[in-house]
Amino acid sequence: MNYRHAYHAGNFADVVKHALMVRILLYLMRKDAPLRFIDTHAGIGRYDLSSEEAQRTGEWRGGIGLLAEASLSPASAELLKPYLDLALAEPMRYPGSPMIAQKLLRAQDRMSLCELHPHDERRLVKAVGRDPRMKVLAMDGYQGLRASVPPPERRGLVLIDPPYEQRDEFETLALELERAWTKWPTGTYAIWYPLKATPEVDAFRACLSQGKIRRVLCLELLIDDVQSEGPLKGTGLIVINPPFVFEAEARQLLPELARIMAQGRAQHRISWLAGE
């Protein structure tokens, strides 16, 4: 477990993932009924952008740094406002997915956060503080997912955001996803993946388009030509059971985020891998 998100927090991939995650949670919050947020790979919760790690890569400058200064169309500005309010709330601090959820969600909602790295788990516990709505689990995210679905609330979002350090991560993910979906087919799932020109990414998409899971939306954004090696240029998010308005919102946001964070030939793609 060598991956440290502190090097990458607030980069273009975090911006896309978190901005879309906020749109999903806001939609789920339109109903008063409680919801559950399950974060299988939670990270440390809050990132210091002036830290040695963040400064060494400077990745946040090409993500939240650019977005903070960008001039947005009125439609995108409205959709991004809740995310930007949270992401820019503290100078030189970037919130991870657990803190975004903690700030956004209501008294009746619950959050289950898995973080396996002992050091990161301790930092996450500290970042979360005393919040009876949140449970931090020092365990493998897939084991946590198995134990958490279906949640008693019967509505909510699962975020699966692994570091892709294991060679068979995509295969494990596809297996665990199908297992979770079988137990809880009405939940919304968002799965982040690094968009690279590799057979593993193609196989993952193909597996989802041929598998039994229904309503699978694939969103991809490239800030430059896709590569198989080197610094990440592309970000992908699979959303299962996206809210009714989500596709239209993503079609508004992705081209604008691609334009703002472009380093070269930026592109985006939104497609259904599996329908109803």
Ligand X SMILES: C[S@@+](CC[C@H](N)C(=O)[O-])C[C@H]1O[C@@H](n2cnc3c(N)ncnc32)[C@H](O)[C@@H]1O
Residues 179-238 that bind ligand X (CB under 6 A): none
Task: Verify binding: residue 42, ligand X, rule CB under 6 A.
Answer: yes
Task: Verify binding: residue 117, ligand X, rule CB under 6 A.
Answer: yes
Minimum CB–partner distance for residue 252 and ligand X (Å): 22
For residues 53 and 7, give the distance between their C-alpha atoms in angstroms, rounded to a whole number: 5
Task: Verify binding: residue 1, ligand X, rule CB under 6 A.
Answer: yes
With CB under 6 A as the contact rule, the residue among 161, 176, 249, 256 that binds ligand X is 161
* Residue whose CB is less far from ligand X, 121 or 256: 121
SS (H, E, C) the chain: CCCCHHHCCCCHHHHHHHHHHHHHHHHHCCCCCCCEEEECCCCCCEEECCCHHHHHHCHHHHCHHHHHHCCCCHHHHHHHHHHHHHHCCCCCEEECHHHHHHHHCCCCCEEEEECCCHHHHHHHHHHHCCCCCEEEECCCHHHHHHHHCCCCCCCEEEEECCCCCCCCHHHHHHHHHHHHHHHCCCCEEEEEEECCCCHHHHHHHHHHHHCCCCCEEEEEEECCCCCCCCCCCEEEEEEECCCCCHHHHHHHHHHHHHHHHCCCCCEEEEEEEECC
* Residue whose CB is less far from ligand X, 136 or 208: 136
For 123, the token pair is 């930092």
* Residue whose CB is less far from ligand X, 3 or 27: 3
Minimum CB–partner distance for residue 265 and ligand X (Å): 26
Q: Beta partners for 221?
A: 235, 268
With CB under 6 A as the contact rule, the residue among 10, 43, 65, 236 that binds ligand X is 43
* Residue whose CB is less far from ligand X, 43 or 242: 43
Task: Verify binding: residue 175, ligand X, rule CB under 6 A.
Answer: no
Judge whether 39 counts as a catalytic residue.
no
With CB under 6 A as the contact rule, the residue among 22, 28, 38, 114 that binds ligand X is 114
* Residue whose CB is less far from ligand X, 59 or 120: 120
- Quick one: which segment of 104-112, 145-153, 155-163, 204-212 binds ligand X (CB under 6 A)? 155-163
Binding residues for ligand X, how many (CB under 6 A)?
A: 19
With CB under 6 A as the contact rule, the residue among 29, 93, 150, 163 that binds ligand X is 163
Per annotation, catalytic residue among 32, 85, 161, 202: 161
x/- map, 74-103, ligand X, by CB under 6 A: ----------------------xx------
User: Distance from CA of residue 10 to its chain's centroid?
Assistant: 12
- 179 CB-contact burial (10 Å; exposed 0-12 / middle 13-18 / buried 19+): middle
* Residue whose CB is less far from ligand X, 9 or 35: 9
For 220, the token pair is 């991809």
Positions annotated as catalytic residues are: 161
**Given the rule CB under 6 A, which residues bind ligand X?**
1, 3, 5, 39, 41-43, 96-97, 114-117, 120, 140-141, 161-163
